[in-house]
Chains A and B, each alone.
Chain A
Amino acid sequence: MIYVDNAATTKMSDAAVNTMTKVIRETWGNPSSLYTTGQRAKEVLEEARAEVAAAIGAEAREIVFTSGGSEADNQAIRSAAELGKKKGKMHIISTAIEHHAVLHTLKRLEAEGFSVTLLPVHENGIVEASEVEAAITDETCLVTIMFANNEIGSIQPIREIGALCRAKGVLFHTDAVQAVGHVPVDVVLDNIDFLSASAHKFHGPKGVGFLYARKGIKLTNLIEGGAQERGRRAGTENVPGIAAMATALTEAVSHIAENTTRLTVVRDRLIAGLSEIPHAALNGDAKRRLPSNVNFCFEGIEGESLLLLLDDRGIAASSGSACTSGSLDPSHVLLAIGRVHDVAHGSLRLSIGEDITDGDVEYIIINVKEVVEYLRGFSPIWRDLVSGKKAFIL
């Protein structure tokens, strides 16, 4: 199988598996216990915290371990909202292409009286810093903008946005779930106040993530019940998962430069190859995108059937089609970059991993071409487009 759905999840690295099994076997104590077995687990936990912090330029005490990116997003936004409310600032700025962990939290806050501005993005999936700046008012307590988009890979001008938020005294959160371990992230240089990350996106285990909160910023507890994580997140820590996350992150960060160089070449070859398909279009910016992300819309076909047939040919990919999500609407991200429903249903996302070979790339291009052509062959929409009864959109 050629696995090109690394934005959904990644395979754990051998080093991370080794760390995890070792901790499960040897350091199974409760880090809150005072005897030696517990304190050994505490050491493992704190070493992992220091390791994770170092990977993003933070200090250990600025890291809170969570169950993953969604929890970190929830906690960061809730915390900033509480702080804002105390000062009478109840306006939050975000974008139309955020993950639902952010969008749904904002929806909830709106119901609680906050006003939310969801900035539109350009056709390339990017919001410029000047547009964020123009939306900031005296009431704004938080700007929350994702580092890199999970569907179309567009990378936002995070450093600039962070700088202007800092200058205006507005807290800045970034959902960096797709970025950490894949592109350079430095919370100090990038002027970030809160950052969310998830281990299983960088070859760590599922069910573990972390929230970075700049020192001095008070976090709101989402889970009550104990003094773990210095009172910021109750519940006995997932020590094996956390330790494995630290191993995976250190490994991923140490390979960012070489992976970026190689994957960018692979990505651009895939983009060039798939661009040969008539009436197809790349989604997202050609250059300001993750080195691992390729996303296309193919007119006249539907994404789920494309995925199922690619699966038959040994290719595991993803789509923003309604039918692939269990929901019946196509991806909000594709709609936000201006793709109409008709073509948004025909999208394909390939998120490549470091193990991809040149042979895989050529195999993918040939098979996507064949399957798209096959499905178009009995698509009534395609017939109408080709016969001129309907106008091509792409």
Chain B
Amino acid sequence: MALYSEKVMDHFRNPRNVGVIEDADGVGEVGNAKCGDIMKMYLKIDNDIITDVKFETFGCGSAIASSSMATELIKGKPVSEAMALTNKAVAEALDGLPDYKMHCSVLAEEAIRSALKDYERKQRGEDVPEEKQHDEDKDENRFCCCTTDTAGE
């Protein structure tokens, strides 16, 4: 049995929308290196529509595939629709993820939400420095699996 579905492997091998948007309207970064997963999303938004999206990911195969799939699911969509994207939708679009990899899809959902919140803040004229866009401690508690005592191999 293969570790991942064909779809996960396809998005892992040929990730869509990889890269950076220099003049992004919203940027979000979640996860932390200690856990082995970081996702960064860049959004270009025009008239409430996500016209472009790029990502950078440090992480395992399913983290890269989840990022890639999430960008495909929101590209060309209105902000409200992207805001409603769930990790479940990402995982389903990938034909499923192993249980212990579901947190990768959660990260993808949160990375997009974080970028959208950054966009909204900018819309309201709040000037938040990039590195303060998200609360690292909160992310750590929410996503970090390092603190979980897993029995090992």
Contact = CB atoms under 8 A, between A and B. Distances in A.
Interface of A: 100, 104, 300-305, 308-309, 312, 321-330, 340-342, 345, 378-383
A301 to B, nearest CB: 7
A328 B100 contact: yes
Contacts of A305: 12, 59-61, 63-64
A327 B58 contact: no
Given A302-B58, A308-B12, A342-B33, A381 B38 contact: yes
Interface in B86-138: 100-101
B150 A328 contact: yes
Nearest to A343: B33
A310 B148 CA distance: 29
Contact of A322 (B36, B56, B61): B36
A305 B68 CA distance: 14
Mostly helix, strand, loop or mixed at chain B's interface?
mixed
Nearest to B38: A380
Given A305-B12, A341-B33, A378-B19, A325 B153 contact: yes
B57 interface: yes
Nearest to A299: B33
B25 interface: no
Given A305-B12, A378-B19, A380-B57, A323 B153 contact: no
A378 B18 contact: yes
Interface string B45-61: 00000000001111111
Nearest to B39: A380
Contacts of A324: 60
Given A327-B151, A327-B153, A300 B36 contact: no
Contact of B33 (A303, A381, A383): A381
B37 A302 contact: yes
Closest 3 pairs between A and B when the two form their complex, measured CB to CB: A328-B145, A323-B60, A304-B60
B15 A378 contact: yes
